[in-house]
Structure 1
């Protein structure tokens, strides 16, 4: 029998209905006549799930004894002996009891599949190996039972069982997942809205990757090379030239036209390792494309158009962005170029040819001169060798004329030309070939001592000599130049690889300080690599224009970082300088003059230094802006309080006092008491408001006295509830103590409980619970009131907000703002959650006290919560 097929129901979280969906599918198959048995199904006491087992044959489980207890596990042999068409086996990631044949249940399932039996199983996303650590960071709960991703990916079918966090929490509140005694703890720990939302996204993303793999495999199996536009993907080709910035921005605008479009940048490196790409340009362009939400890729290929199209088809791209050719018009007559060739071969991929400043500029003379190869000294030596060697060879052959034929003489001259090519390169060799042909013609070709040739065969020999000499010289020159370029490219790649490793690890090279920043590490690596005395990064004063005089003016530059000896104060102060970021930064090297051939690597170092400086300044700016933004929000709140809410109680008290003082009205004793009570109530409200404003101003100034010490939740919660009616307190035993200021925490909880009582309907008590989670303690105030729309939940913490309570004038809307400020002053948070079944839950989170910790210093600590599953 062949191997059975595996179908997996993947759950975003426990309780979404994986087992229910599996049993429902089994019922449908049984009705169609399929032989289905239950190998192992766990209903967790859920009645609706258990009812689906009716009518399904169940294979008895295997009983195992472990540590004086009895356990039941899947009986693999019994399922194989029964030999059904389909076996239902729940909990793919389950760990078997010690003593079982296999350690994990997925290994049991592999045996059953090998026996030719189809299996339907279930697993939650948090049990996948690849996301296990992510789930622990999100939920604070370690997952001890895991399954390798590859096991799940090999499944023939995977179906996602999904549910919104709100719907799952309602299901739990209704008792459809856990028993009533576990619901509150589960909702307050593992099954929070944020946790469930993150788990849901992980499941969707993991399954999307699986679907992409299936699509790629299907296309490969059916040899489908065309593009399937299941998702828009824009690929931009980078040459490593300055025009790449323009192409990336144009590609990003194309991608932005359709939501969800992927942006990919690709650079094709030649297979021989020789490239004209600028590392500085590629480094900057990689940072640019990543800042725009794209990804950077590098591939190797001998044919650039084919490599680009292979990459584009491999990622199922729909559009390809290329730059217009930089070659001149004459060069384009001999070769169509990358853009035209790729367009002709692109098929269903749309190709955008984008013009830029480098279009049709042709090759620069400097670049052409560089392509010619050898240094001037070697060229001069080649010319000297030709000028001296050819006459000597002619003198020698003239004295051995009777011993050698014309063919031998031509071959000796050919050898001399090759020798000159090895010494001086192409142009001395061409000179030697032409000069040699003239000497052969004059001294050795009849008639002698004239430039006349009377024999056609001699003329042919001489022409072949010239052509072969020039061809061989060209080949020798190109080979030598490529060898030198390959050696230099290998050296450059090793240097850049070391630089990349330093940046990734954040290490300082040998000789650098341990506390070196990334920027200092880059400069130190450059100084060490080239044996320099000092390396300095300068920044031009923004007020100084970028002129040639600026390069010599020390007052126009600011030293950002330096390593080695005395820093250079201007670009002209060193032997070598590299300008980056539109001449706003300069990397200045002192110690020795570096050859121009090293400039590409130096530009890469300069680009990385600029990126490191930019990251450092962004981090510094973020740190500076954070307190300023908080102070501005607090200042605005205080101004609003003075201009708005101080007037209301003050006006009521003034009106009551003015009425009592009025001689025109004879107030009765009852009326007088009512007016005095009104004035007293208004003044009391005014006193509370002033006290709140003073506390908020102290928070803003950082002068609010906060003394945190360990507190027991079972002590502080009843004190905060006071004599409030309709409040139930449920604080479990064994909770760790929390770190907080007793007076401030009591004030915060009293405010939250008072609000909850005010909004709760009659007969619905307010519930106050406590739980521990990942080293922090949570106090939850739960009501069954009207709740707050999600869009308005952030607004309730702004001063003077009374959302949904416009007729209530007993408060000024400052309480929740102050409560959040006081909680944050104690290193805590206040969050709003929806109460399953309707209502609002206010969650106060504070650090747990570390047992045996430094209590005087207020060091938070705690323990991890237990998993709810």
Structure 2
């Protein structure tokens, strides 16, 4: 039994258990003859009263140990011994006068009275112990329900221990096991009680290897009620948790729809306005105006196409169906191509390439999009006069592309929020897109077998580290996988 287990005392028909009664009979059968031998060895006419008191003391001791039946046996046995050994004529059992008969009756009556008092005291002590154990059990299970900490399992364990069962289990209405403790003993002794209110039952509590009296069944009903309350508490807690999750999801969904509708509506409206202007003006537009409207429509449609492509890409990343074509690439060439795409001059980018860096294993299109996104973010947040620094270096069996800026940085406890879709980290500039750049960058990096992690730049700023496996390391892994498959 576990430490601190609470067991209810058994309520038997007698106040004292069979072990106490057996001990009382053993004391009577052992000490009675010894006392008789001692008193007979010291006997003379003036010791009769002392002999009677000695036997009376033995009866009291036996009553204290074993209760009424051993004491009554001792009183009768000692009375016969007194008559046989110490009353004239000796060695015979006779009652010569009514006085002797009255003495024997009073002697037995006193023994019965003492043993009855002992029996009642023991009974009340047992009842008090039982009441204290029941109170402690009820306090324990009530505390378990209030705390809500695995209350069902705690109550099932307590019930098994308290009711002396070999096993206990809580079964739901669908037959599913909710909690169990101990090993059930299928010996025909079992008790089942419904759990929960009569109108809304939630299961059944089963106790195996025990039989319960009326008072114990009444207490078990209380335990079952508390179990029902615990299950109801757990059900309500789970419902509240689901409601919170749904509320959060609704909030995210509303923010997502708001961001998408706003960011898609802007280039779409610009394109529609430009095309409408071209159609309405006809031939009255000058060449410069027509070229400006066409450029506006072209730029807006290109922006709209990029936004839709980002949405499709992030859905592919989240669904795990991103198409990746790995090849051996020079990381420095991908960085230079990204700088050219963003048209960043030497005053805005500082390069520090490792001269002997081996080729990396990556998808050229995805890697360039990752670097472009990270460079654009770093350049956007870098203060004037502090160019973005791009480094390449070896790192064990991988290569790193480190993009370092001197901007305001991001607190460590919020750095992972940057990679959530539609997250601009407080940036209210609606020309920066849907906030999918970093989410896509991490998804692309992980799709290529690499990682994208943020670090704090010394002296302020943020460093984004793209780590990719080396091409030779990737080839060795693929060769090993082919060999394992063979």
Equivalent residues in 2 for 1:570-585, closer than 5 Å: 575=190
3-state DSSP class of the match of 1:813? coil
Partner of 2:285: 667
Q: Assess if the C-alpha contact under 8 Å between 2:63 and 2:71 holds in 1.
A: no
Backbone CA RMSD of aligned residues = 6.5
- Mapped pair 1:657 → 2:289: no
Partner of 2:369: 747
Q: Which of 29, 50, 60 is equivalent to 1:407?
A: 50
Larger radius of gyration: 2
Judged with a 3 Å threshold, the aligned counterparts in structure 2 of structure 1 residues 831 and 578 are, in CA distance, closer, same or farther, namely farther
Shift of residue 628, structure 1, vs aligned partner: 9.8
Shift of residue 639, structure 1, vs aligned partner: 3.2
Judged with a 3 Å threshold, the aligned counterparts in structure 2 of structure 1 residues 722 and 581 are, in CA distance, closer, same or farther, namely farther
Partner of 1:236: none
- Mapped pair 1:842 → 2:464: yes
Shift of residue 769, structure 1, vs aligned partner: 2.6
Judged with a 3 Å threshold, the aligned counterparts in structure 2 of structure 1 residues 431 and 279 are, in CA distance, closer, same or farther, namely same
Q: Assess if the C-alpha contact under 8 Å between 2:263 and 2:434 holds in 1.
A: yes
Shift of residue 667, structure 1, vs aligned partner: 1.9
Shift of residue 416, structure 1, vs aligned partner: 5.9
- The CA distance in 2 between the partners of 1:810 and 1:842, in whole Å, is 19
Q: Deviations over 1:793-827 (max 9, x none)?
A: 66654555556765673644332333234345556
Equivalent residues in 2 for 1:716-731, closer than 5 Å: 716-722=334-340, 724-725=344-345, 726-731=348-353
Q: Which of 534, 539, 542 is equivalent to 2:171?
A: 539
Partner of 1:756: 378
3-state DSSP class of the match of 1:703? coil
Q: Assess if the C-alpha contact under 8 Å between 1:441 and 1:452 holds in 2.
A: no
Q: Assess if the C-alpha contact under 8 Å between 1:829 and 1:845 holds in 2.
A: yes
Partner of 1:279: 5
Partner of 1:300: none
Q: Deviations over 1:283-325 (max 9, x none)?
A: xxxxxxxxxxxxxxxxxxxxxxxxxxxxxxxxxxxxxxxxxxx
Shift of residue 687, structure 1, vs aligned partner: 0.9
- The CA distance in 2 between the partners of 1:447 and 1:784, in whole Å, is 120
Q: Assess if the C-alpha contact under 8 Å between 2:165 and 2:207 holds in 1.
A: no
Shift of residue 660, structure 1, vs aligned partner: 1.5
Judged with a 3 Å threshold, the aligned counterparts in structure 2 of structure 1 residues 785 and 575 are, in CA distance, closer, same or farther, namely closer
Shift of residue 682, structure 1, vs aligned partner: 0.9
Q: Which of 607, 624, 645 is equivalent to 2:263?
A: 645
Q: Which of 387, 390, 393 is equivalent to 1:765?
A: 387
Q: Deviations over 1:677-710 (max 9, x none)?
A: 1111111111111111111222333322346678
**How many aligned positions are there?**
395
Q: Which of 835, 852, 855 is equivalent to 2:478?
A: 855
Q: Assess if the C-alpha contact under 8 Å between 2:324 and 2:363 holds in 1.
A: yes
Partner of 2:312: 694
Q: Deviations over 1:749-782 (max 9, x none)?
A: 2111122234434543211234577987654211
Q: Deviations over 1:172-229 (max 9, x none)?
A: xxxxxxxxxxxxxxxxxxxxxxxxxxxxxxxxxxxxxxxxxxxxxxxxxxxxxxxxxx
3-state DSSP class of the match of 2:365? helix
- The CA distance in 2 between the partners of 1:665 and 1:586, in whole Å, is 86
- The CA distance in 2 between the partners of 1:843 and 1:376, in whole Å, is 79
Shift of residue 668, structure 1, vs aligned partner: 1.5
Q: Which of 84, 100, 105 is equivalent to 1:449?
A: 100
- The CA distance in 2 between the partners of 1:856 and 1:636, in whole Å, is 48
Q: Assess if the C-alpha contact under 8 Å between 1:778 and 1:844 holds in 2.
A: yes
- The CA distance in 2 between the partners of 1:710 and 1:371, in whole Å, is 88
3-state DSSP class of the match of 1:279? coil
- The CA distance in 2 between the partners of 1:677 and 1:858, in whole Å, is 52
Partner of 2:17: 375
Judged with a 3 Å threshold, the aligned counterparts in structure 2 of structure 1 residues 450 and 789 are, in CA distance, closer, same or farther, namely closer
Q: Assess if the C-alpha contact under 8 Å between 1:708 and 1:858 holds in 2.
A: no
Shift of residue 666, structure 1, vs aligned partner: 2.5
Judged with a 3 Å threshold, the aligned counterparts in structure 2 of structure 1 residues 434 and 746 are, in CA distance, closer, same or farther, namely farther
- The CA distance in 1 between the partners of 2:185 and 2:469, in whole Å, is 48
3-state DSSP class of the match of 2:477? coil
Q: Assess if the C-alpha contact under 8 Å between 2:169 and 2:207 holds in 1.
A: no
Q: Assess if the C-alpha contact under 8 Å between 1:638 and 1:693 holds in 2.
A: no
- Mapped pair 1:782 → 2:404: yes
Q: Assess if the C-alpha contact under 8 Å between 1:709 and 1:858 holds in 2.
A: no
Judged with a 3 Å threshold, the aligned counterparts in structure 2 of structure 1 residues 374 and 567 are, in CA distance, closer, same or farther, namely closer
- Mapped pair 1:677 → 2:295: yes
- The CA distance in 2 between the partners of 1:567 and 1:428, in whole Å, is 35
- Mapped pair 1:822 → 2:444: yes
Q: Assess if the C-alpha contact under 8 Å between 2:278 and 2:290 holds in 1.
A: yes
3-state DSSP class of the match of 2:176? strand
Unaligned runs of 5+ in 2: 88-94, 127-152
- The CA distance in 1 between the partners of 2:353 and 2:6, in whole Å, is 61
Q: Deviations over 1:625-666 (max 9, x none)?
A: 9x9999989866763454221111111111111112223783
3-state DSSP class of the match of 1:655? helix
Q: Deviations over 1:517-552 (max 9, x none)?
A: xx9xx99xx9xxx998xx6743233xxxxxxxxxxx
- The CA distance in 2 between the partners of 1:538 and 1:380, in whole Å, is 40
Q: Assess if the C-alpha contact under 8 Å between 1:536 and 1:559 holds in 2.
A: no
Judged with a 3 Å threshold, the aligned counterparts in structure 2 of structure 1 residues 791 and 563 are, in CA distance, closer, same or farther, namely closer
- Greater helix percent: which structure? 2
> TM-score, with normalisation over the residues of structure 1?
0.34
Judged with a 3 Å threshold, the aligned counterparts in structure 2 of structure 1 residues 566 and 761 are, in CA distance, closer, same or farther, namely closer
- The CA distance in 1 between the partners of 2:247 and 2:328, in whole Å, is 31
Shift of residue 715, structure 1, vs aligned partner: 6.0
> TM-score, with normalisation over the residues of structure 2?
0.56
- The CA distance in 1 between the partners of 2:395 and 2:212, in whole Å, is 62
- The CA distance in 2 between the partners of 1:702 and 1:662, in whole Å, is 46
- The CA distance in 1 between the partners of 2:15 and 2:457, in whole Å, is 77
Equivalent residues in 2 for 1:91-240, closer than 5 Å: none
Unaligned runs of 5+ in 1: 1-274, 282-365, 454-458, 482-518, 542-554, 860-869
3-state DSSP class of the match of 1:841? strand
Judged with a 3 Å threshold, the aligned counterparts in structure 2 of structure 1 residues 561 and 709 are, in CA distance, closer, same or farther, namely farther
3-state DSSP class of the match of 1:809? helix
